[in-house]
Amino acid sequence: EVQLVESGGGLVQPGRSLRLSCAASGFTFDDYALHWVRQTSGKGLEWVSGISWNSGSIGYAESVKGRFTISRDNAKNSLYLQMNSLRAEDTALYYCARDVNPNILTGLDGFDIWGQGTMVTVSS
């Protein structure tokens, strides 16, 4: 079964750090780009970051650029998001999502597999 499983969420104080992980199974991991997408409670989706199959192309939303770092380990079939200097507005459910392409920003963008998400709450 094709699957993405996120972990690492939790309650963290403003200014602190957190690292999210996403474990993939059921498909050839390094054939696909991957993304992090977040959703605030009862609200819409926000693209956070994406990484190509070989980590050669990376993109970030302006709201997280300079604070968040995306990475992947193809040997471990895992995607990561290092989140530093967290703010209250980063509170959200964070999804890991698979791109239909090996590269990001192809113009044929689509996220065809999603995990169930991991909740991040930034509060003092």
The residues of the shown chain that bind other proteins, judged by CB under 8 A, are 35, 37, 44-47, 50, 59-62, 95, 100, 104-105, 107-112, 114-117
Q: How far is the CB of 124 from other proteins (least distance, A)?
A: 28
CA angle in degrees (0–180, nearest 5) for 77-109-2: 35
Task: Give the number of residues written for the chain.
Answer: 124
Q: Give least dist CB 109 to other proteins, A.
A: 6
67 φψ region: left (φ > 0), alpha (ψ -120 to 50), beta (else): alpha
Angle subtended at Cα 6 by Cα 5 and Cα 7, rounded to the nearest 5 degrees: 125
The least CB distance from residue 13 to other proteins, in Å, is 28
Nearer to other proteins, 23 or 61 (CB): 61
Q: Return the structure tokens found at 58.
A: 């990376």
CB of 123 to other proteins, least distance (A): 23
3-state secondary structure (DSSP) of residue 89: helix
DSSP 8-state code for residue 90: G
- Residue 116 or residue 123: which is nearer to other proteins going by CB? 116
59 or 84, CB closer to other proteins? 59
| CB closer to other proteins, 8 vs 114 | 114
